[in-house]
Copies of this chain bind each other. A is one copy, B any other.
Amino acid sequence: MSGDRLPVAVDAMGGDNAPGTLIEAAHLAAEAFGVPVLLVGDPERLGDTGPLEVAPASQVVEMGADPARAVRRLKDSSIVRAAEAVRDGRASSLLSAGNTGAAMAASLLRLGRIKGVARPAIAVPFPVVGSTPSTLLDCGANADCQPEWFVQFARLGTAYARHRFALERPRVATLTTGEEAGKGNALVKAACELLEQPEWAADCGADYVGNVEGGDLLAGVADVIVCDGFTGNVALKSLEGGFDLLRAAVGDALVSTAEAAAISGMVHELIDPVFDFFDSGQTGAAMLLGTRGVTMISHGSSSAITLANAIRTADELAGEGIVQNLRNSVGNPTE
C-alpha cells in the first residue's frame, strides 16, 4: 500500500491462467502504473509475490460452478474474500477474471446494492473510432429484465459514462431492431415508453436519443446503450468472436504467399493496432454498476497487460468516487 491509498483487491485465483497471469498483472500495475494491489488467494499457490501484499483465501470458485451456490458455500474463496476486503475498507475496489456470476454474487452479497437499484448491471465500453466509447449495459447480469430496470440501467450508465469518459451530458439510446419508434420486442417497447418520459433524463442529466440497432454499437451514435442482459451478452460475444475469427483469417492471408509473407511484418505493424482497438477485451474490464463498491470483471482469457489496465481503471474509478456518482444518478445520494 502506498500511503493512504487503498489497494485494488485482485482475485488471484480466477481466470484461465490463474494465478500466474494475475500475479504478473499485479506486478505490472504496481510497477508501471504505481497502483497498490492486494492479491487475494492461496498463499502456497501464489508463492513469492515480492513486495505485493497478499490476503489469504483457501478456496476457489471454479469457472463452471453455480455462482450463487458457490458464493454461499465457499466462504473462504478468493472472490468472496476480495469482496470482503472492499466491504471492510481494506481495498478500494476489486477485480476478477474468474467466474463472472460468482463475482456478481460476491459483490451483491458482500457489498450490497445501492439503494433504489433493483438489479446491478454489467457495463462494457465499446470502442468507437475517433471518439469516446459507447457503453452497453446490461451485458449479462440479468437475462430476464423488467421494463423499469432499463431506466435504472440508463441512470447508472449515464453516471458511468460521464465519470469515466468526461461526458457532460451523455446521449442514451435503446438497443433494438430498427431506428423508428415502436421497433422491437414487447420488453423494449415497454421500456421505451418509460425512457421517453423526460423526468429521469432531466434528473440525471442525460439526453434520451431513442433507438439504435446492432450495427450502431461501434458507430458512436450514443454514449450509453441500454438493453436486457441476454441481448447485451449475445451482442458483446458475437462481436468479440467475430473480430477474433476475422483477425485470424487476415493473419493467415498475410502469410498465404511468399510475397505476402515478405511484407507481413510491416502490415501487422499497421493493422494490429486497429484490431487491438476493436478488441473490447483490450479496454480492460467491464464494471458491475449498482453495488456499493467498484467491481471490475475481466475475461478469463485476458492477458497480463489487459488485466493491469483493468487494475488501473479500478483504482481510478474508486479514487474518483464513482459509487457516489452512481448513487446521485439513481437518486439516492445518501444511501
| Residues of A in contact with B (beta carbons under 8 Å apart) | 64, 129, 140, 143-144, 175-177, 180, 184-186, 188, 213-219, 227-231, 233-246, 248-250, 253-254, 256-257, 259-260, 263, 266-267, 270-271, 273-275, 277-278
Instruction: Report yes or no: B213 in contact with A234, Cβ–Cβ below 8 A.
Output: yes
Known contacts A241-B214, A243-B242: does B271 contact A253 (CB below 8 Å)? Answer: yes
Q: Looking at the complex, which one of B218, B266, B271 makes contact with A242 (CB distance below 8 Å)? A: B218
Nearest residue in B to A248 (C-beta to C-beta)? B129
Q: A144 to B176, alpha carbons, bound, how many Å?
A: 12
Instruction: Report yes or no: B144 in contact with A186, Cβ–Cβ below 8 A.
Output: yes
Q: Looking at the complex, which one of B64, B218, B277 makes contact with A180 (CB distance below 8 Å)? A: B64
User: Closest Cβ of chain B: how far from A253's Cβ, in Å?
Assistant: 5
Q: A140 to B274, alpha carbons, bound, how many Å?
A: 31
Which chain B positions have C-beta within 8 A of A254? 267, 270-271
Known contacts A143-B177, A270-B254: does B238 contact A235 (CB below 8 Å)? Answer: yes
Instruction: Report yes or no: A218 in contact with B243, Cβ–Cβ below 8 A.
Output: no
> Can you identify 27 A-B contacts, CB atoms within 8 angstroms?
A129-B245, A129-B248, A143-B177, A143-B184, A143-B186, A177-B229, A177-B237, A213-B233, A213-B241, A214-B234, A214-B238, A216-B241, A217-B241, A219-B241, A227-B234, A230-B231, A231-B231, A235-B238, A239-B242, A242-B242, A246-B274, A249-B274, A249-B277, A249-B278, A250-B275, A259-B266, A263-B266
Instruction: Report yes or no: B215 in contact with A240, Cβ–Cβ below 8 A.
Output: yes
Q: What is the total number of copies of this protein in its complex?
A: 2
Instruction: Report yes or no: A184 in contact with B230, Cβ–Cβ below 8 A.
Output: yes
Instruction: Report yes or no: A271 in contact with B245, Cβ–Cβ below 8 A.
Output: no
User: Closest Cβ of chain B: how far from A78's Cβ, in Å?
Assistant: 21
Which chain B positions have C-beta within 8 A of A260? 266, 270
User: Closest Cβ of chain B: how far from A153's Cβ, in Å?
Assistant: 16
Q: A89 to B235, alpha carbons, bound, how many Å?
A: 41
User: Closest Cβ of chain B: how far from A168's Cβ, in Å?
Assistant: 25
Which chain B positions have C-beta within 8 A of A186? 143-144
Closest 10 pairs between A and B when the two form their complex, measured CB to CB: A215-B241, A214-B237, A214-B238, A143-B185, A214-B234, A215-B237, A185-B230, A177-B233, A235-B238, A249-B274
Which chain B positions have C-beta within 8 A of A213? 233-234, 237, 241
Q: A256 to B272, alpha carbons, bound, how many Å?
A: 13
Nearest residue in B to A272 (C-beta to C-beta)? B253
Q: Looking at the complex, which one of B140, B214, B249, B273 makes contact with A236 (CB distance below 8 Å)? A: B214
Nearest residue in B to A240 (C-beta to C-beta)? B215
